[in-house]
Amino acid sequence: MAAGLALALGQAPIDFPYLGLLAVPLLLSMLQGANGLRSGFAIGWFAGLAYFGVSISWIVEPFLVDIGRYGWMAPFALILMAAGLALFWGLAFMLAGRWMRGRLSDAVVLAGFWALAEVLRSIVFTGFPWALLAYGWVETPVIQLVSVVGPHGLGFLLVLASGLLLWRKGMGVAALIAVISVGFGVFQLNKPVEITPLTVRLVQPNAEQRQKWDPEFIPVFYQRLLDLSATGPQPDVVIWPEVAIAYLPDEDPGLRADIAIAAAAPVILGARRRDTQAVYNSLFVIDQNSTISGQYDKHHLVPFGEYMPLQGLANRLGLSGLADIVGGGMGSGKGPVVVQAGDVPAFLPLICYEAIFSRGLFTKTRPEWLVQVTNDAWFGKISGPYQHLAQARVRAIEQGLPLARAANTGISAMVDPYGRIIDSLPLGKAGKIDVVLPQALQPTVYARSGYWLAIIAIAALLGAQLTRLEWRRE
């Protein structure tokens, strides 16, 4: 558990991943001395329990917004979530323990099974790839490797290099991995970044979640958005956050006219949309003529937040999602799409939670930038918003694309294609920033190869190693 806690300190906002260089060898040493599969599972599970207990502690925050109805669920949510995610680590350690031989190959085996377990965590039950090991290195040059091998590939290399430190012979290989990782990152970060002529205004209204749907505050926050969009020199495009307004833009021409007049530029905003089937968490592009020139419906919904798994059973038990205001959950869009709307450069929209999924950024047409609209008021003020921003920055690095991020309560930011924050608005502050959009890079190796290539390579390397060990044993 101490090792798990040490690994968790790598995640934002602490951003100190170097203890992992001690934690991983400690866990590997314990695994080598484990007595059977059950013991190996326990080592991984307890490490995971501590790691996730700290790194996703923000998960209690949504239950505290309406504490009278949902507050009692908060401790159960954290304990059950951490314990459930730790099962993936327990499985990885149990399988790896079967192949421990007290040799350098042990580091390869643990790194392989651990990385594949994180892949499963990113996919099973719609996936929850929050706080992957690679994200702990977002403030270091090492994170640039995700542009080649992706987050799971980097996680594999981090565990491998750390595990090799158990052996004197392995230290040389570990040092080589470190030199290559840091050297590549420094090389990337020293490259110049071109800029486009497009000026983007990011608007942050700072609407507290407890007040956001209060009829008295709805017009207050709406007017704040209009005022922040209208002040200062005219930008080329304005971005409002997720569900920025309580109104329905596609059903209210007068509303669109007010927005177009105030901004005097195309406005990208989050709002709800409804049809005969469902209500959707959507993104709209409203142009200067007050028409909707682009639209996107969120496709990766938050379990228990925007929809309830096993809806029929949930209805019988009287349970509903935290953000469920329509009964029966929200509708899901058709998938990731590139939005092309008038003079606005083609962009890939990401609504809140969608930015944590690396595999959701691969589209047939490559966008010129990423746009994330989010409402991190759900995540509290301690760690959730900082971790969410860190993961969005990794998406920019993976694809070599700039990222514009408008967050309701912060942190709103413009991120360059190397994941560096050019300008930002802090957490819990209403305001706006005008910033020039950086130029996209050429497609990265990861963007060209796709989500699965690095994963297949890890599986193949692990399979070859296990075959070799079995052959030697026989």
The three state secondary structure string of the chain is CHHHHHHHCCCCCCCCHHHHHHHHHHHHHHHHCCCCHHHHHHHHHHHHHHHHHHHCHHHHHHHHHCHHHHHHHHHHHHHHHHHHHHHHHHHHHHHHHCCCCCCCHHHHHHHHHHHHHHHHHCCHHHCCCCCCHHHHHCCCHHHHHHHHHHHHHHHHHHHHHHHHCCCHHHHHHHHHHHHHHHHHHHHHHCCCCCEEEEEEEEEECCCCHHHHCCCCCHHHHHHHHHHHHHCCCCCCEEECCCCCCCCCHHHCHHHHHHHHHHHCCCEEEEEEEECCCCEEEEEEEECCCCCEEEEEECCCCCECCCECCCHHHHHHHCCCCCCCCCCCCCECCCCCCCEEECCEEEEEEEEHHHHHCHHHHCCCCCCCEEEEEECHHHHCCCCHHHHHHHHHHHHHHHHCCCEEEEECCCCEEEECCCCCEEEEECCCCCEEEEEEEECCCCCCHHHHHCHHHHHHHHHHHHHHHHHHHHHHHC
Task: Give residue 309's pLDDT.
Answer: 62
The pLDDT assigned to 327 comes to 47
Are residues 407 and 260 located together in one domain of the fold?
yes
Mean of pLDDT values over 23-51: 97
pLDDT score for 301: 86
User: What's the pLDDT at 176?
Assistant: 96
Residues 17 and 131 in one domain: yes
Q: Looking at the domain assignment, is residue 375 inside a domain?
A: yes
Question: Which residue has better confidence, 142 or 312?
Answer: 142
| Judgement on whether residues 89 and 230 belong to the same structural domain of the protein | no
Lowest mean pLDDT among 67-81, 91-105, 231-245, 349-363: 67-81
Mean pLDDT of 47-64: 93
Please list the active-site residues.
242, 298, 352
**Pair 180, 204 in one domain:** no
Percentage of the chain beyond pLDDT 70 is: 96
Average pLDDT rounded to a whole number, residues 127-131:
95
- Residue 322: its pLDDT value, please? 52
Q: Is the pLDDT of residue 198 over 90?
A: yes
Regarding whether 238 and 154 lie in a shared domain, the answer is no
Is 211 found in the same domain as 172? no
Looking at the domain assignment, is residue 321 inside a domain? no
Task: Report the pLDDT value the prediction gives residue 283, as an integer from 0 to 100.
Answer: 97
pLDDT value for 311? 52
Domain that holds residue 430: 195-300+335-438
Q: Are 381 and 289 contained in the same domain?
A: yes
Mean pLDDT over 34-44 rounds to 95
312 pLDDT band, cuts 50/70/90, is: low
Task: Please say if the pLDDT value at position 140 is more than 90.
Answer: yes
Same domain membership, residue 132 and residue 265: no
Report yes or no on whether pTM surpasses 0.75.
Answer: yes
Domain count within the chain:
2
If asked whether residues 222 and 204 sit together in one domain, one would say yes
What is residue 365's predicted lDDT score, i.e. its pLDDT? 93
- Has residue 307 been placed in a domain? no
